[in-house]
Structure 1
Amino acid sequence: MNFRSKATLENWVKDFRGAREAGDLVRVIIQDGSDGSDTGLVIVPVKNSSVSIFMQPIRIGDERWTVTLEPNDENTVLDSHQLHALASELAVAAELCSYLEARSKGHDELPSDEVLEEV
């Protein structure tokens, strides 16, 4: 099963930060899967916008990821410097999504409640 736990995603985000030297504010939070298993949800904070960004696998067993930009009720008004900073943050989010998809290819991890005991 192509599954990614919170702990696995935290390691992948750490590796991404080390390789890219970006994404310092990215974090992984617990997200309960439909079967109650620990699936991580990757949060990408945005400094100068009311938009929230999070990413997650399309579904367990799929190596593709989706990025959701969740709007707030407030308008985001930016000057040119803030807009450039937002563009940079979105570029890092896109790179992180691609990185997570690449790491998901061939990854095989059982949910913690399905780990087989050694005989």
Structure 2
Amino acid sequence: MPFRTKPMLEAWIDEFSGLGYPAHELIRVLDQDGSDGSDTGLITVGLNDASTVVYLSPVAPGEARWLITFEGREETFALTPAETSRLSAELAMVSTLCAFLEAKSTAYIESHAA
């Protein structure tokens, strides 16, 4: 039962942003079609000091759990202490966002249980 449509995820990101996180600066909700053609949800996060592609997605349609995926890099990169601190803060925000999405998914599933 896929339920995380793009409009729903955008509303959840707006809510997350309302908590004080820089969601609109770093986070995008993309169209993601499941194997049956349904909207399954995919969120990308842009990192300011690393070009690594980071995305969040549900473990499986109908499940509350989400995963954070870091795509591989072909090249190394070096950061100053200040840049590393900013990257650390961004990764903490990504982790918090993932937990937020799991909580929203759990609440949705529980409220629509038969």
Q: TM (normalized to structure 1)?
A: 0.85
TM-fit CA distance, 1:40: 2.0
Q: Which residue is equivalent to 2:17?
A: 17
The number of equivalent residue pairs is 108
- Cα offset for 1:2? 5.4
Query: If each structure's strand is expressed as a fraction of its own residues, which one has the higher value?
Result: 1
Quote the residue 1:86 is aligned against.
87
Q: Do the aligned partners of 1:2 and 1:106 also contact (CA within 8 Å) in 2?
A: no
Whole-Å Cα distance in 2 between the matches of residues 72 and 33 of structure 1?
26
Aligned partners of 1:60 and 1:6: how far apart in 2?
Answer: 14
- Asked if 1:53 corresponds to 2:54, the answer is yes
What per-residue deviation string (whole Å, max 9, x for no partner) do you get for residues 7-66 of structure 1? 100100010001133223201000111111122210010111121110000001110000
Q: Which residue of 1 aligns with 2:3?
A: 3
- Whichever residue aligns with residue 83 of structure 1, its letter is T
Tell me how far apart the structure 1 counterparts of residues 60 and 78 of structure 2 sit (CA, whole Å). Answer: 34
**Deviation above 4 Å: which 4+ runs of structure 1?**
none
1:68 counterpart residue number: 69
Gaps of 5+ in 2: 110-114
Contact persistence 1:2–1:107 (CA under 8 A): no
| Contact map agreement 1:53 1:69 (CA 8 A) in 2 | yes
- Aligned alpha-carbon RMSD (Å): 1.3
Superposition TM-score, scaled by structure 2 size? 0.88
Superimposed CA distance per residue, residues 85-118 of structure 1 (whole angstroms, 9 cap, x where no aligned partner) = 000000000000000000001415xxxxxxxxxx
Tell me: higher relative CO, structure 1 or 2? Use CA pairs within 8 A at least 6 residues apart: 1
Distance (whole Å) between structure 2 residues aligned to residue 47 and residue 21 of structure 1: 15
Judging by fraction of residues, say which structure has more helix: 2
Q: Taking every aligned residue pair, what percent have the same amino acid on both sides?
A: 40
Uncovered stretches (5+) of structure 1, i.e. residues with no partner: 109-119
